Structure 1
Amino acid sequence: MKIWHSTTFRFAALVFLFQIVAAAVLLLGPALLLRSQSHADAVAVAVTLRDDLLDAYNEGGEPAISRAIDAKVSRRIERASVLFLANPDGTRLTGNLDSLPPDLTPGAPYALEKLPRSGHTAPEAMLIQSVRLRDGSILVTGTVVETERQVLALLERTSMIALALSVVFAAFAAYVSTRLILNRLRASVATLRDVREGRLSRRVPADDTGDAFALLGSEVNQALDRMAALNDELKLATDALAHDLKSPLTRMRAALDRAAQHVEDPLAQPFVDQALTESERLMAIVETALSITRAEAGMGRESLADADLSELLETVAEIYAPMVEDQGRAIVVVAPAALHMRVHRQLLDQALGNLVDNTLKYGAGTITLSLVPEADGAAVVVADEGPGIAPERREQALRRFTRLDEARGGWGAGLGLSLVQAVAHLHGGTVDLRDAAPGLAVRIRLVEPPPRA
C-alpha cells in the first residue's frame, strides 16, 4: 500500500498544511499590508506636493513654480521630497535632480525609480511622476522611500526566516500528533494481535479519560468478551456434536460388521461392504469437520508441545512410502538435521497426511516434503509433479466441502485443504498454494508461539 493512502500520513499532512498556512498568513500578511500602506502614504505625500506646486504655477507661471521649488529645496522643508523642473526640451531649470529621469512618461502613474538626488552620492529608491505644464515645461515630483523599503525588506527577510522555522515546527507538530494517536491505539492493536495469536484472555487496559480512544478500547473489550462467550458455546456445541454423532455412527458400524459376518446371500455381500465403506467415510468426514472447527476456534493451543519437525516429515514419508512405491513413484524429504518447534503434533500429522493423500490421488511424479526455517518459525512444503491447480481456482480449493472438477473421481468430502488451512491458523500461520512448475506446492507457514508462562 502506498504511504500517501495511509490515514495516518494524510492526517499528518493535514496538520502540517494547516500549520504552514497559518504561519504564512500571520508572517507574510502584515508585511504585505505594510508594503501596501507605505506605498499609499508615499503617493499621497507626493500628490500633495505636486498639487501645491501646480497651484503656484497657476497663480504666477514658471517664475512662481521655480521660486516654490527653490524654497522647498534650499530650506529643506520636505527632506524626502523629489522636485525637478525642466524646459520642454528636458534641460534642467531647478530642483534636486541633476537631469530628467529617462523613460518617464508625463501623466503616467507614480513609478518606483532608483536615482541620486543632488548632494547625495548614493542612488535612492523614490516614487516619482512627471507632469507637462501649459508652456511645455516638465514638472517632476515625488518622495524618497529608501528608508521604508529597507525596513520592509528587513521585515520580509525576518518573515521568511520565521516561515522556514515554522516549516520545521509544523513537521514536528505533525509527527507528535500522529505519534500521540498511534500510541493511544497501540494498546488496542496489541490486544487484538494477541487475541489473533490465541491469547483469548487479553483485554485492552482500562482507560478513564473518557475520550474516543477509551470508547474504542471499551468496545474492543466487549467484543472480545462476546467472542469468548461464543467460543465457549462453540466448544460445548462441538463436544456435544461429537458425542451425539460419533456414538450412533460407531453403533451403526458395529451393526454392519456383525451383519457382514452373518450375511449368507452372496448377492447381498457387495451391498453390506458398500455400507461399511460409506460408514467409514462418514466417520472420517465427521472427525475432519470437528477437527477443522476446533482448530479454527483456537482449541488445541494448550496441547502445543516441542517436536522435531524434521523427524515428523521423515515419519510421514516412512508411513506413505509403500503406497507411493505401489504407484511407481517416490517420496523424498528435504529438511535440516533437526528443527524443533512447539506444534500440535496430531493435527499437523493429519494435515500432512491429507496433503500426501491428495498427491497420491490427483498428483504425479515425485512427492517432495520440504522444511524451510524462518525467522519466526518454519515453513513446511508438500509438492508434486502433477497437473496442479489453476491459479484462479486455488482460493476455491481451500473452502470447506469444495471438490474441484479434477477431483470428482475420488471419494473425499472436500475437507482436506480446509483442515490444512485450519491447522496453519492454529499455529498462527497461513497456507499458500503455489505453482511447482510442474505440479502443485502447498506451503504451510508455522509461527513459533511465545513461551508459556
Structure 2
Amino acid sequence: MAAQKSIRKTALQYGAIFSLLYFLLIFFSHTFVIDQLSNESRKHRLGKEVESLRAIIETESPTSSEISSMVDRFQLLLEHALIVEMKDGSVITSNNVDQKKLRMVSGKPAGFIKIRRGADDLLGLKQDAPIDSSLSSITILEMENGLAEQSLGAHLNLLTASALLLVVLLTLVATTTYLALKPIGRIKEDLQRLQSGKQSRLNPHVPDEFSSLIKQLNNLLELASRRLERHRRLNSDLSHMVKTSISANLAILSDTNSLSPSRDDVGFMISNLRDLNRSLSYRMSKADISGRQMGQICLPIQITSNVVTVMEKIFPDKHFRISTDLPNDFSWPMERQDLSELLGNLLENGGKWCQTTVDISISLAASALTIKVADDGSGISPESAEKVMNRGCRLDETVNGFGLGLSIVYEILEDNFGQMEIGSSKTGGAEITVTLPFPE
C-alpha cells in the first residue's frame, strides 16, 4: 500500500483544484448572466427605437419617399440597419441593407432575431404593426461585433475580479488548513517528548477529532506501565520467595548432624513447598492478565456458563444461578482470558463462602457491562472489604484464596479500566459488583 501524503499538502492540493474549478464556474456563470442581461438590454433598447419609429410613421402618415427619408435619418442617428415592410407589399430599407440581409429578415418571425454572417453577425428586433396600421413590420438590426467589443471590457474586468477572488480564496484555504492542522504539530511534538522521556503521557487537550485516538494511546501507555510495574513486582516477589523457600529446605537437607530429616522437618518442607506452589500459581495468574486489547472481543454469557459448569464440579453441593436479559451471542470488547479469570475468581470465592446458592447477574446499561455475584454466606464487613482489596490479604487463613482471588479481580479491573464494589446481598451474604466500561 502506497504511503499516504501529508495532510497539509493534500488539503492544499485539493483546495487549489477546487478553487480553480470554482473560479471557472464563477467566470462562465457570470459570462452567461452578462450575455442574458445584455440581450435583455438590447431588446428593451431596440424595442424603444422600433416603437419611436412606428409612432412617427403612424402619426404623420408619410409617403413612401418620406418614410425612406426617415429611415435614412434613423440610420445616421443610430448607426443601425432598418427595414420597414408595408402591408401593400412594398419594402423600405436603409442604405446599409442589401438583398441578402433583406431575404434573411423577411423569413424571420417577429421577435428578437440573430442572423449569422461570419464575422458580421447581426442582432435585431422585428416587430409586427397593429392590424389597422399601414405598416406590416419594422426591423432594426445592429452589428454584433461592435457589441462584442463593448462587452469585452466587462469580460476582462470579470476575469480580473475572478482571479483576485481566486487568490483570496486560496489564501483563505491555506490559512484555514494551517490553523486546522496546527494541533497535529503539537501532537507530533508531544510524541517526540514522549519518545525522549520528557513526558509520560500525551496531552489530552486536543481537537475532538483526535481526542479518542489520544485517549486510546494514553490508555495503552497506562496499560504498558502497569504491566511493567506488575512484572517487576512479581519478579521481585518470586525471587525473594523462591530464595527463602530454597534456603529453608537446603538448611534442613544439608544438616550433617542427623542422618535423615525428622518428621517435623518433612512436614515443614511439605508445607513450605505447598505455600510456594500456591504463591507461584497466584502470581502467575497475575502475570497472565492481558488488560484491554484493541480488536479483542469475548462472549460474556457463554464464558459465564462455562465457568459455572466448572464451579458446579468443584462445588457439587452448591447452586450457581445465572440471571441476564442478554443473548448468548452477546459480545463485549475484552480479552477472553481476562473475563474468564475474573469470573472464575468471583465464583470460586462465592462457592467457598456461600451456604447453598450463588447468584450471577449480568446486565448492560449506560455503555457499561455490570456483573454481580451474590451469595448467601456470612457476608463481608466494610472494614474487611477494604482489606481484601489489598494485594495478598486473606480474611480467613482456613479458606484459601479468598483475598488472593479478589486481588486478582481488582488488578484485572484496573487494567480494563473497570471498578469493583463489595456490599451485602439480599440474603445477608456478600455481593460483589464489577463494572466494565465500553472503550471510548
Same fold, judged at TM 0.5 (above): no
- Could you tell me the TM-score, scaled by structure 2's length? 0.43
- Could you tell me the TM-score, scaled by structure 1's length? 0.42
